[in-house]
Amino acid sequence: MARKAVTRDLSGQIINLIDETDGGWIIRNRQVVNNEKWQRMLEIEKDKREAALAATKAINNPTAPVADRNVAPSKTIELEKRVTDMESKLDAILKAVQK
C-alpha cells in the first residue's frame, strides 16, 4: 500500500509531506525536498482557488439585476391592473350571487 501523509504544527505549517505513489518525500523537516512536485501542488491549489472565485463572480453579475430593475416597474403596473380587474370581476360575481 502506498502512503500519503501530512504532518502540521499547531499554526498549520507543514512539517512533513510524503506521497509514496509520486516521488516520496515532498517536504521533510520543514524543507522542500521535491521542488517540482511541490510547485505542481501549489499550482493545483491556485487553480482550485481561481475556480471557486470564478463561480462566485458568475453568480454576482451586477448587470443582470440592473436590467431587471429597468423592466420591473412596467411589470408591476401591468400586474396591478390585472389584480384590479380581477377584484372588480369578483365583486360583480359576489353581487350576482347575493341577489
Helix (H) or strand (E) holding 9, with range, is none
Answer yes or no: are the C-beta atoms of 26 and 34 closer than 8 Å: yes
Per-residue pLDDT of the chain (99 residues; tens, 9 = 90+): 678 899 999 998 999 999 888 778 988 999 999 899 989 999 999 999 998 888 777 766 565 555 555 555 677 788 888 888 888 888 888 888 887
What is the reported pTM? Answer: 0.50
Predicted confidence at residue 42, as pLDDT, reads 92
Answer yes or no: are the C-beta atoms of 48 and 54 closer than 8 Å: no
Predicted confidence at residue 4, as pLDDT, reads 86
Predicted confidence at residue 45, as pLDDT, reads 93
